[in-house]
């Protein structure tokens, strides 16, 4: 069973993502090292003791829908109530609406634990966080007054309604209609698919944020508006009014996250007796500017989806390590040399091949964790420095840069680590009761939703490396280089060839970055896009490996982090040379071979 | 829906695995190019039209057991009867027992198609093939007379019973007991787990091949004997006699291959009223020499499991390509340049990132297919040249060398390609009804059973590269080098940098091979084992890429194969440098970091 690695998480926050110096300067509000530890400890206990025990049952039972009413797995409604009562939903919400306004980085750390315990359960609150942010940033005072406090506390839940059958990655194809009503509200008509927690029994009300198009809207993404559509209308006194014309039509039968209802939602088809058809909606932000508001939700949601990858990877590592320490098969060389009585079998963790798998799992999880926390911290720093425009911009661009990497690299890692976890279990890994298979099934959605990892890579290449004419990415690479220099300067035997390996990877990343910048300057989009996915992985591996080494430098008392950073550098960074080659020399053969696919 | 790629398969057999020259020399018995095409066409039709339509229902329905009686999915029993009636089970069986004695390579090709259509269905016959081989090679004349013809025809099915709860990868821990009976037969007592198709309703009788230990057997693997244990005893006239004391206790709830019953089997617990406890078994081969017999089954079974990886990968590629051609999202650069009317969206296959995924799927599938067929062909050539000891040994060692690569590389590819297939589908990929998720669930077992891929890598390093003092692997690498030289000699623009990329990969493989040979000579097992998995992948990627190029050289009429070989070489072979580094420089950091796992 999952045990929250709170020491590891606290270290990554303080020493790797640099919360420690920020707290010292008072940039993170009331957050102190002690408070941070206390929050992590409480969250870790809740995740391990309350959520994790309900994960397997929730997966087995799944969700069902009957005449628009969705039933969640046994115990999950009570679990959610318990979780809300603990104040966990309010962790990052604005203080004026009852939130604790704690940093995004800490939220990412806590969400990692919820996701390790049960990704299907943690997914619901992830959406509410996004709704709070969008409403806080772009909503009118009336909307905030009516909805925000209850979304912050978790008494009500939020959703994101983007996808339609013909509009997935490409939102320009949205068809859901919004019509202006006389009272200043709107009526929404249309169908949305893949709506996570679109309907459930956790809360009395559900607040849908819905992208739709006004009759006179420009074509494409510039004609999309964002609306708040509550399941139950809210009366002037704040009490629940009549049922709105939005219903769950069906829930999907999915590979994983079975406890999380993935709904097809029907807006405005006239399902309410005695009422005219049309779901009542309220505009968030300006008409036709919905995409801007949605991106507010999405940036944070993307980070938290990246955190799902970290969470599942951590859970998979723990499960595999526990098994490998218990399971005995064969004789390791240590046994063969007579260290244990003859006839006995070794725990499989002693076999080099199994150890390689486990260390790969641990190293990649650590890389992804560090990137995600650093991304969250950049968001927090942008907020903390908002009075100094130039510094805030630097941090904002840092967050922008790291978001697609945190999302895509970490979720790819989630799948990879969960699959390795199955392999470590041997035949047991394929048996559902073991739990390792569930982690792979759950992990597999994360590279897809909140913008596929391909979309993330395109975002990184086409929007992020060009920020401030390349200054943002250059500054980040220079920071990584400082750590690499420090490793080399340390000259410690335990680091082995870590410094050289990191330097080589960083050179690969720099070279690939420069190549893509030139391709973009030349408007050679085919070349830039062909290497996008490889570039993102190259970026993630290099940054992650540097972060592991940074942790090792900061943890002078123990050698474990140095060993792991060295394993990462000497064993797993060899991939970067090939990735660089794909970026700078792969486009021509890709373009030529595309004819095969026609 | 799956369409058997018979042109592609025929080409890989004839031109890449070199069946064409072997047929010309009359080394493959009655097999002619025309017969080969005819068999593939008929098999392809059966796979596509009969098996594939029952795959999804079989997955959804799964299997169940009730008082020892296993029910397979609706229609599968009839499908099996249909398949047997078509003579498919008898394809490779010995002619004197009604088989067609066709080559192993052709069998691998045909099994690829069964597995593309439904891995869960194809798995049963895979086990029967192994039972036929073991019985044919090691069984007494009486046993052959009683069982072989019906196993060859498929009227009866075979199983392999190795694993016990404490004995998975390490068979020395087997506890199942065998006792000698007065009539020369044996009585078997014990429990076996993970027995594929251990019980089912396809056939009137099931012939279990069971590893067990005699009371006076030496400890360890030198005290294991192999027994034939029929579900129903066979009377002297060949008719079915009484029920034997072997029963299915339960079937596993698995991640995938739901249509295939994975059974816990109980031997000899006295479940037959009026009979003494003990399952009646008959010795195959000699007492305490069971492992040798079992390896006869396993080598072939390992190849056929590798073929499962190829089959699933092919199915995943086809499904993803079909989707990517239909699904329209966004505008590719071709569209943006005005090649299609504005406002229209592009099929996603035109986006470079999607094309990269699809080409990666196709290239890796082609690599794995070529390796598997070449492995099968080496087995056939060893048989064809058995009168010339030195040549037969060369081929036998070639088959030995390629078997672990065919098994592990191809099944890893199966998982990787199936996962990419989900990604290409976006959100649809996570919905079970689409079918892409099932392919990943099915594929995930293949790296585990028939010897985990870690075991395959250890086998490759510790037993195979040392064959004939390294001459076997050297000769194989020299053959690969010939193809690389031919690519360079061709000097065709379409090949781009293929020749150089192949040469670099082959150098990496040679260097890693030499390093491991030295480590083994120095008895430095920790170093050799640490790099085993990386070495196997390095081997598979390099050999596979060379085979793609070999196909391109042989197919002078079209450029498709050249484009694919070039894509493989320029985009996917960059991994080899990092893999080599893991082999030759990764062991020290792995060993140091192992302390973290204690």
Q: What is the DSSP string of B345-395?
A: PPBGGGSHHHHHHHHHHHHHHHHHHHHHHHHHHHHHHHHHTTTSHHHHHHH
The answer to which of A105-109, A529-533, B169-173 has the lowest mean pLDDT is B169-173
- What value does the mean pLDDT take over residues B391-419? 98
- Residue B450 catalytic? yes
Phi and psi at B286, nearest 5°, equal: -100, 160
Query: For the segment B31-64, what is each residue's pLDDT rounded down to a tens digit?
Result: 999 999 999 999 999 999 999 999 999 999 999 9
Q: Is the pLDDT of residue B542 over 90?
A: yes
Cα–Cα distance for residue pair A41/B56, rounded to 1 Å: 45
Nearest to A319 by CA among A447, A444, A440, A446: A440
Helix then strand count (H, E) for chain B reads 23, 12
Task: Nearest chain A residue to B318 by CA: give it.
Answer: A597
B556 — pLDDT class (breaks 50, 70, 90): confident
Is A114 in contact with A311 (CB distance < 8 Å)? yes
Is A65 in contact with A265 (CB distance < 8 Å)? no
Is B262 in contact with B236 (CB distance < 8 Å)? no
The CATH superfamily of B295-335+346-451 is: Butyryl-CoA Dehydrogenase, subunit A, domain 3 (1.20.140.10)
Phi and psi at A255, nearest 5°, equal: -65, -40
Helix then strand count (H, E) for chain A reads 23, 12
Helix (H) / strand (E) element for B567: namely helix B560-567
- Predicted confidence at residue B297, as pLDDT, reads 78
Helix (H) / strand (E) element for A369: namely helix A352-384
Contact A585 B564 (CB under 8 A): no
Cα–Cα distance for residue pair A521/A461, rounded to 1 Å: 12
Cα dihedral B425→B430→B433→B436 (10° resolution): 50
Indicate the residue of A325, A577, A589 with minimum beta-carbon distance to B566: A589
- Predicted confidence at residue A588, as pLDDT, reads 96
Nearest to A589 by CA among B565, B421, B424, B491: B565
By CB atoms closer than 10 A (0-12, 13-18, 19+), residue A29 is: middle
Helix (H) / strand (E) element for B267: namely strand B262-267
The answer to which of B67-71, B240-244, B300-304, B490-494 has the lowest mean pLDDT is B490-494
Contacts of A255 in chain B (CB under 8 A): 422, 430-432, 437, 440-441
- Predicted confidence at residue A336, as pLDDT, reads 65
- List Cβ neighbours of A12 (8 Å cut-off, separation of 6 or more): A109, A366, A369, A370, A373, A551
**Torsional sign, CA A229, A234, A236, A242:** positive
Q: Is the ipTM of this complex over 0.85?
A: yes
- Predicted confidence at residue B161, as pLDDT, reads 96
B298 — pLDDT class (breaks 50, 70, 90): confident
The answer to which of A387-401, A457-471, B17-31, B336-350 has the lowest mean pLDDT is B336-350
Contact A324 B597 (CB under 8 A): yes
- Predicted confidence at residue A300, as pLDDT, reads 87
Residue with tokens 């696919």: A597
Phi and psi at B176, nearest 5°, equal: -55, 130
Is A220 in contact with A236 (CB distance < 8 Å)? no
Domain B6-288 matching CATH 2.40.110.20: the answer reads: yes
In 3-state terms, chain A is what percent helix, strand and coil (to 5)? 60, 10, 25
A557 — pLDDT class (breaks 50, 70, 90): confident
Cα–Cα distance for residue pair B179/A416, rounded to 1 Å: 46
- List Cβ neighbours of A64 (8 Å cut-off, separation of 6 or more): A70, A71, A251
State in Å, rounded, how far the first CA of chain A is from the last one. 48
Q: Name the residue with higher pLDDT: A334 or A356.
A: A356
- What value does the mean pLDDT take over residues B453-467? 97
Cα–Cα distance for residue pair B78/B80, rounded to 1 Å: 5
Contact B349 A598 (CB under 8 A): yes
Phi and psi at B19, nearest 5°, equal: -70, -30
Is A255 in contact with A444 (CB distance < 8 Å)? yes
Task: Nearest chain A residue to B167 by CA: give it.
Answer: A329
Is B303 in contact with B147 (CB distance < 8 Å)? no
Phi and psi at B285, nearest 5°, equal: 70, -150
Pairing of strands B157-161, B206-212: parallel
Structure tokens at A4: 């929250």
Query: For the segment A472-507, what is each residue's pLDDT rounded down to a tens digit?
Result: 999 999 999 999 999 999 988 999 999 999 999 999
Structure tokens at B35: 């017969």
Which of A331, A335, A427, A435 best tests the B interface by mutation, with the highest count of B CBs <10 A?
A: A427
Residue A478 CA to its chain's centroid (Å): 26
Contact B593 A423 (CB under 8 A): no
Cα dihedral B71→B74→B78→B80 (10° resolution): -70
Residue B100 CA to its chain's centroid (Å): 21
**Torsional sign, CA A400, A401, A402, A405:** positive
List Cα–Cα distances, B338 to A167, A514, B18, B324, B344, in angstroms.
Answer: 22, 29, 46, 21, 10
Which of B318, B356, B436, B542 best tests the A interface by mutation, with the highest count of A CBs <10 A?
A: B356
A403 — pLDDT class (breaks 50, 70, 90): very high
Chain A contacts in chain B segment 18-77 (CB below 8 A): none
Establish if B542 touches chain A: CB-CB under 8 angstroms.
no
Contacts of A564 in chain B (CB under 8 A): 593, 596
**Torsional sign, CA B230, B235, B241, B245:** negative
Contact B345 A170 (CB under 8 A): yes
- Predicted confidence at residue A379, as pLDDT, reads 96
Q: Is the pLDDT of residue B342 over 80?
A: no
Å from B250 to nearest chain A CA? 13
Cα–Cα distance for residue pair B294/B313, rounded to 1 Å: 28
Establish if B330 touches chain A: CB-CB under 8 angstroms.
yes
Contact A430 B256 (CB under 8 A): yes
Cα dihedral A378→A381→A382→A387 (10° resolution): -170
What average pLDDT is seen over chain A? 96
Domain segments of chain B: what residues?
6-288, 295-335+346-451, 454-588
Contacts of A592 in chain B (CB under 8 A): 494, 496, 563, 566-567
Contact A452 B253 (CB under 8 A): no
Phi and psi at A97, nearest 5°, equal: -115, 25
Structure tokens at A170: 């490409």
Contacts of B585 in chain A (CB under 8 A): 497, 570
Nearest to B422 by CA among B567, B323, B356: B323
Structure tokens at A214: 């006004």
Length of chain B equals 598
Establish if B595 touches chain A: CB-CB under 8 angstroms.
yes
Establish if B339 touches chain A: CB-CB under 8 angstroms.
no
- Predicted confidence at residue A297, as pLDDT, reads 78
Contact A359 B590 (CB under 8 A): yes
Chain B contacts in chain A segment 202-241 (CB below 8 A): 219
Establish if B570 touches chain A: CB-CB under 8 angstroms.
yes
Contacts of A164-169 with C-beta under 8 Å, sequence gap 24+, read A164/A190, A164/A191, A164/A192, A164/A193, A165/A191, A165/A193, A167/B329, A168/B329, A168/B426, A168/B427, A169/A451, A169/A452, A169/A455, A169/B329, A169/B330, A169/B426
Cα–Cα distance for residue pair A435/A320, rounded to 1 Å: 10
- Predicted confidence at residue B596, as pLDDT, reads 95
- What value does the mean pLDDT take over residues A546-565? 95
Å from A12 to nearest chain B CA? 17
Cα–Cα distance for residue pair A303/A295, rounded to 1 Å: 12
Residues of A acting as catalytic residues = 450
Indicate the residue of B353, B576, B597 with minimum beta-carbon distance to A457: B353
Cα–Cα distance for residue pair B312/B438, rounded to 1 Å: 10
Cα–Cα distance for residue pair B158/B126, rounded to 1 Å: 9
Q: What is the DSSP string of A512-569?
A: HHHHHHHHHHTT-HHHHHHTHHHHHHHHHHHHHHHHHHHHHHH-TT-SHHHHHHHHII
Q: Which of B450, B479, B482, B560 is catalytic?
A: B450
Pairing of strands B177-180, A64-66: unpaired
Structure tokens at B469: 């003092």
Is A160 in contact with A262 (CB distance < 8 Å)? no
Task: Nearest chain A residue to B583 by CA: give it.
Answer: A571
Nearest to A538 by CA among A460, A470, A452: A460
- List Cβ neighbours of B1 (8 Å cut-off, separation of 6 or more): B48, B52, B53
Residue B502 CA to its chain's centroid (Å): 26
Task: Nearest chain A residue to B354 by CA: give it.
Answer: A454
Chain B contacts in chain A segment 373-432 (CB below 8 A): 415, 419, 422-423, 426-427, 429-432
- Predicted confidence at residue A558, as pLDDT, reads 85
B491 — pLDDT class (breaks 50, 70, 90): confident
Q: Is the pLDDT of residue B340 over 60?
A: no
Contact A353 B588 (CB under 8 A): no
Task: Nearest chain A residue to B163 by CA: give it.
Answer: A427
Contacts of B589 in chain A (CB under 8 A): 496, 563, 566-567, 569-571
Structure tokens at A260: 């999380």
């Amino acid at each position: 069973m999952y045990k929250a690695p709170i020491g590891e998480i606290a270290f990554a926050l303080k020493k790797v993502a640099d919360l420690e110096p920020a707290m010292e300067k008072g940039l993170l509000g009331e957050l102190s090292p002690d408070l941070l530890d206390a929050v992590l400890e409480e969250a870790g206990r809740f995740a391990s003791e309350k959520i994790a025990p309900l994960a397997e049952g929730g997966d087995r039972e799944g969700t069902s829908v009957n005449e628009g009413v969705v039933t969640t797995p046994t115990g999950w409604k009570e679990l959610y109530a318990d979780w809300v009562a603990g104040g966990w939903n309010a962790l990052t919400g604005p203080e004026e609406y009852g939130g604790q306004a704690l940093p995004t980085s800490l939220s990412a750390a806590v969400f990692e634990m919820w996701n390790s315990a049960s990704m299907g359960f943690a997914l619901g609150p992830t959406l509410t966080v996004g709704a709070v942010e969008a409403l806080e940033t772009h909503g009118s005072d009336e909307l905030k007054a009516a909805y925000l406090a209850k979304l912050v506390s978790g008494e009500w839940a939020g959703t994101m309604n983007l996808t339609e059958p013909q509009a997935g990655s490409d939102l320009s194809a949205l068809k859901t209609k919004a019509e202006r009503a006389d009272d200043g509200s709107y009526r929404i008509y249309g169908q949305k698919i893949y709506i996570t927690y679109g309907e459930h029994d956790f809360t009395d009300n559900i607040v849908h944020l819905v992208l739709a198009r006004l009759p006179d809207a420009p074509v494409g993404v510039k004609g999309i508006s964002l609306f708040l559509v509550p399941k139950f209308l809210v009366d002037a006194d704040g009490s629940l009014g009549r049922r709105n014309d939005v219903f769950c039509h069906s829930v999907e039968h999915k590979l994983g996250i079975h406890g999380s209802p993935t709904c097809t939602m029907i807006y405005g088809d006239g399902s309410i007796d005695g009422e005219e058809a049309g779901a009542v909606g309220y505009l968030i932000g300006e008409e036709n500017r919905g995409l801007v508001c949605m991106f507010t939700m999405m940036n944070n949601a993307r980070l938290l989806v990246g955190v799902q990858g970290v969470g599942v990877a951590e859970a998979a590592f723990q499960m595999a390590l526990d098994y490998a320490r218990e399971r005995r098969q064969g004789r390791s060389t240590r046994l063969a040399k007579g260290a244990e009585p003859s006839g006995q079998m070794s725990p499989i963790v002693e076999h080099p091949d199994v150890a390689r798998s486990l260390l790969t799992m641990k190293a990649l999880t650590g890389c992804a964790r560090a990137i995600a926390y650093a991304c969250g911290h950049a968001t927090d720093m942008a907020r903390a420095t908002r009075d100094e425009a130039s510094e805030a911009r630097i941090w904002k661009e840092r967050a922008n840069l790291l978001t697609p990497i945190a999302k895509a690299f970490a979720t790819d890692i989630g799948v990879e680590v969960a699959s390795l976890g199955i392999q470590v279990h041997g035949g047991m890994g394929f048996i559902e009761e073991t739990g390792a298979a569930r982690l792979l099934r759950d992990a597999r959605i994360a590279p897809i939703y909140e913008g596929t990892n391909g979309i993330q890579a395109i975002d990184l290449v086409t929007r992020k490396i060009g920020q401030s004419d390349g200054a943002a990415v250059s500054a980040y690479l220079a920071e990584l280089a400082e750590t690499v220099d420090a490793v080399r300067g340390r000259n410690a035997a335990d680091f082995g060839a870590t410094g050289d390996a990191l330097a080589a990877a960083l050179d690969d990343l720099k070279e690939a970055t420069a190549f893509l910048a030139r391709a973009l300057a030349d408007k050679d989009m085919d070349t830039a896009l062909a290497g996008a996915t490889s570039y993102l992985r190259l970026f993630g591996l290099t940054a992650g490996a540097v972060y592991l080494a940074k942790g090792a430098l900061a943890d002078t008392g123990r050698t474990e982090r140095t060993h792991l950073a060295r394993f990462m550098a000497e064993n797993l960074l060899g991939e970067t040379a090939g990735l660089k080659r794909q970026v700078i020399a792969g486009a021509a053969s890709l373009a030529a071979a595309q004819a095969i696919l026609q």
